[in-house]
């Protein structure tokens, strides 16, 4: 699976590399103005279509709490345990949820995709990115490999936890040589892109990674 889609995944990651590096650098650079950092995060979130359904005020508020979360990091690390990933996801998810109005029926928005992607920007060497396409691939491949089924989820934290558990299980089995990345730094991002490519509902016909239903 990895070998079949690796070159395409690396190409796509590098193609989006400037956008990704801009937001990662903005979150790491506390010397930049608050307005510049906010705008870089907002631009990136819009590109990946994770603000859909939010009103204008909510869309403006979410980047600020992401910057606040980034500034509260003790350090940017390259490795996180599964427990640490979920703990950081919970922290950021609560911050984002506090700025977002519920749906018209009163139900809270899940914000799982938004939170995981923002968290990746803060820890780009360690965080699995959640979206429906990647999840679809994970569930199918894990069943074919007869992996243990994670418990059912009742909350966004549990839903992301299920995703991360299976994601890491497959990632640890994958072989992605650094030499095949053509200088691209974020191996977890490449694996995410492989899952995304496979999980597209209209295989090979979508016009770009940002076209995913987030």
Q: For the chain, which residues make up each domain, given as ranges?
A: 2-211
Q: Which tokens is 131 given? A: 């979206």
Name the pLDDT band for 209 (thresholds 50, 70, 90): very low
pLDDT digits (tens, 9 = 90+) for 42-68: 999 999 999 999 999 999 999 999 999
Query: Each residue of 86-121: pLDDT tens digit?
Result: 999 999 999 999 999 999 898 999 999 999 999 999
pLDDT at position 174, please?
87
Quote the DSSP letter at residue 75.
-
* Alpha-carbon span 59 to 99, nearest angstrom: 9
Query: Taking the model in full, what pTM does it have?
Result: 0.89
């Amino acid at each position: 699976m990895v070998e079949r889609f690796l070159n395409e995944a690396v190409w796509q990651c590098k193609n989006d590399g400037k956008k990704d590096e801009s937001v990662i650098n903005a979150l790491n650079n506390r010397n930049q103005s608050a307005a510049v950092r906010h705008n870089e995060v907002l631009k990136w979130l819009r590109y990946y279509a994770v603000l859909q359904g939010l009103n204008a005020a909510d869309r403006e508020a979410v980047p600020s709490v992401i910057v606040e979360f980034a500034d509260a990091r003790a350090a940017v690390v390259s490795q996180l345990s599964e427990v640490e990933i979920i703990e950081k996801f919970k922290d950021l998810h609560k911050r984002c949820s506090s700025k977002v109005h519920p749906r018209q029926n009163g139900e809270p928005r899940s914000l799982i995709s938004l939170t995981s992607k923002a968290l990746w920007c803060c820890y780009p060497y360690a965080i699995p990115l959640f979206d429906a396409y990647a999840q679809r691939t994970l569930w199918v491949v894990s069943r074919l490999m007869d992996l243990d089924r994670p418990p059912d989820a009742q909350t966004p934290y549990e839903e992301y936890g299920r995703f991360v558990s299976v994601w890491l299980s497959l990632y640890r089995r994958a072989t992605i040589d650094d030499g095949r990345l053509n200088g691209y730094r974020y191996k977890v991002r490449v694996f995410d892109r492989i899952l995304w490519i496979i999980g597209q509902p209209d295989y090979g016909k979508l016009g770009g990674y940002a076209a995913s239903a987030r």
